[in-house]
Structure 1
Amino acid sequence: MTQTDSNDDEAFAEQALVQAIENQLEAGEPAAAQAVLNKLTLVGYEREESLKLMALVLAHEIRQMLDEDRPFDGERYEQHLRDLPELPD
């Protein structure tokens, strides 16, 4: 795999995660998503930057889920969202 392929894959993954966040906002589920977006906007983050931060939290939860071979933990995901702009480890 070349560096370009890797960058393309990362860009695609980021785009997919940001779209997942947009879908959550549209559906109003989890409710914390809109509250977190509002909070980040209030403290000066642009919408696009806020969505990327939220996508990083989603990616973190998915990675943990796969690493630990467990179901998606919605409560933990929401808590990490609420902790933004501080990112999970």
Structure 2
Amino acid sequence: MKENEILREQISEIVKNQLENNDPPETKIIYNQLTNTGYNDFQTRQMIGQCVAVELFEIIKMSKPFDNDRYIKNLKNLPKEPFE
């Protein structure tokens, strides 16, 4: 399996766990808001996954700690792409 596919699956699993565990609760809130405005499950999970990817990049490539405030901010700005 290619590295990108592995990473995509891991991000998908993170999103799934956040939704199932309601942790952070903002993930489920934003998920519900997006699906209620017409985005399907796949699209919504992809958007949330982009926010996860931003955090993973900061952790892995930039050696920065997870920034929960930035993550929540990016979630709340969806469907706009996370920029930070």
One fold, TM greater than 0.5? yes
Give 2:43's aligned residue: 49
Give 2:64's aligned residue: 70
Q: Secondary structure at the match of 1:68?
A: coil
Whole-Å separation in 2 of the counterparts to 1:10 and 1:53: 17
Q: CA deviation at 1:47?
A: 0.6
Paired-residue identity, %: 25
Matches within 5 A, 1:9-48: 9-48=3-42
Q: CA deviation at 1:70?
A: 1.8
Aligned residues, how many? 83
Gaps of 5+ in 2: none
Q: TM-score scaled to structure 2, two decimals?
A: 0.88
Q: Secondary structure at the match of 2:20?
A: helix
Whole-Å separation in 1 of the counterparts to 2:6 and 2:56: 16
Higher helix share goes to which structure?
1
Structure 1: 4+ residue segments shifted above 6 A: none
Gaps of 5+ in 1: none
Q: TM-score scaled to structure 1, two decimals?
A: 0.83
Amino acid at match of 1:64: E
Amino acid at match of 2:38: G
Give the CA RMSD over aligned residues. Answer: 1.4
Q: CA deviation at 1:76?
A: 0.9
Q: CA deviation at 1:66?
A: 3.0
